[in-house]
Amino acid sequence: MSLIDEQDEFLEYDLPPVIAEEEEDEEPRGPRWRLWLLILLLLVMLGGMGYVYRAPILAFLTAKTDTQEPTQEETQAEAQGETQDSTDGSVPSSEETIQTTENATYMQFETAAKSKFFVLGGEKFFYCTKDGMKYFEGMSNQIWNQTFTLQTPSTTQKGEYVAVCELQGRNAMVYHTSGQVYAVQADGQILQYCLNENGALALLLKNGDSYKIQVFSRAGELMMERFEEDSGVYPLALSLSADEKILAVSYLDTTTVEMSTKVLLFYTTRADTEETETGEYFASVIEEGVVSPVLWCTDNGNFLAVSDHGIVAVAPDGTRAWSMELGNKITAVDAYGDYFAVAMGETYPQAEGMAEGTVVFYSQTGQQMAAFETGEAVTYLKCSSYGTVVGCGHDFWAVSPRNGKQIWQYRASGDVQDILLVSKNRGLYVTSTTAQFQEFQ
């Protein structure tokens, strides 16, 4: 599961003080400078951990506070998000072409297509653009094509499923190798979402001044709906268990002198929820003085909440399984299966940290397995069953998470968007305009 997101978008946003806004007729809960400091802290974290979770937080910060009913033009534009099947080889406006040379077959596309790839092993892959989703079994063997129109598609993969959402839009779709599984048109702006390995989807929505969470089953049926009404408490991240029975939500609590993160666990069925003491969540873990906008579920069922300098694991029964505080700023984090990787940034003052650019591999129980030193700031991190690809600018390494040994090293001649491994020495090599399967030595 990838937790990496776009690196270079947040400077394009106007950041209204969404968090700092208070109703004029309400008694302020604390000094206004503290709320502005919170926004500044979030922006600093975005600068440090940018491509790990920048997009979800930006969606939270930039959500409109004066949401109105959509205009006729907006409704028509949203309707274009409905997908259409195509198996006759027709392509949307951001058309790609397959080129064959003496040495390779590759795909060429426009930068404006906002292309994103997800591999499944062998040469099977999903190809998503702002105009649709396609599935290939080989670079020149398109199996199906389903079109839609999204201005800024956001995507994530879990196993053989891929979810596509438009952050601050209303459309969400889930795909499998067989085609579209289901589509959702939300009744609010999508701020955050998560997918589990069986295709269940959770959405965090904003509608006017209120927040709402919805959970959809692997069949696309609405399982759970929760309204967030606590003033000064903001939902940041979601994660679903593999069996879709538990939803974990990370909240930012600004109602006390020191801000904190609360991770609450909810049952997704009404029958289970009614058996809880609160009638809502059945467990909570609180971390003082941190913000945790990254949350995911590991293979053993624990939920890991990541802040800028530490990680806490919450067990499915709601107890604290383990936690770690690091001496370095976290600049990137990614996970796959039973392990995760953390890229270390600069050391905190008066802390014993590691060299900047070190990537540390941990088991899902929080035990360090290995480390790999790059000597530079890490700009790319992608975990897989075949190893972890670490990037620093144009330099890339494939590293074993079990022992930290280098599998191969590669220096790119230009900018690289992705290197998605399909074996230890082969992967889908993606730039801003091309994609091809390539051997690495």
The radius of gyration computed from the CA coordinates of the chain, to the nearest angstrom, equals 21
* pLDDT at 274 (0 to 100): 74
Query: Are residues 433 and 440 in contact, defined by beta-carbon separation less than 8 angstroms?
Result: no
pLDDT at 123 over 90: yes
d(CA 212, CA 192): 11
- SS3 label, residue 428: strand
* CB proximity list for 427: less than 8 A, separation 6 or greater: 119, 389, 419, 420, 421, 437, 438, 440
pLDDT in tens, 382-411: 999 999 999 999 999 999 999 999 999 999
Cα dist from 350 to 244, 287, 328, 347, 405, whole Å = 42, 22, 11, 8, 30
pLDDT for the residue 24: 39
State the average pLDDT over residues 339-345: 97
- Comparing 88 with 416, the larger pLDDT belongs to 416
CA nearest 440: which of 393, 392, 401, 386? 386
Which of the four pLDDT bands, split at 50, 70 and 90, describes residue 87?
very low
**Is residue 318 exposed (0-12), middle (13-18) or buried (19+ Cβ within 10 Å)?**
middle
Maximum pairwise Cα distance, the chain = 72
Does residue 343 carry a pLDDT above 90?
Answer: yes
The pLDDT of residue 276 is 74
pLDDT higher than threshold 90 for residue 71: no
Local confidence band at 74 (pLDDT 50, 70, 90 cut-offs) = very low
Q: Which residues of 335-351 are buried (b: 16+ CB within 10 A; e: fewer)?
A: bbeebbbbbbbebeeee
pLDDT mean across residues, the chain: 83
CA separation for the pair 172, 193 (Å, rounded): 9
Distances (CA, A) of 369 to 8, 258, 294, 340: 31, 34, 22, 10
Give the domains, in start order, of the chain with CATH numbers. Answer: 10-321 (2.130.10)
* Percent of the chain with pLDDT strictly greater than 90: 68
* CA 412 to chain CA mean position, Å: 26
Share of residues in the chain with pLDDT > 70 (%): 78
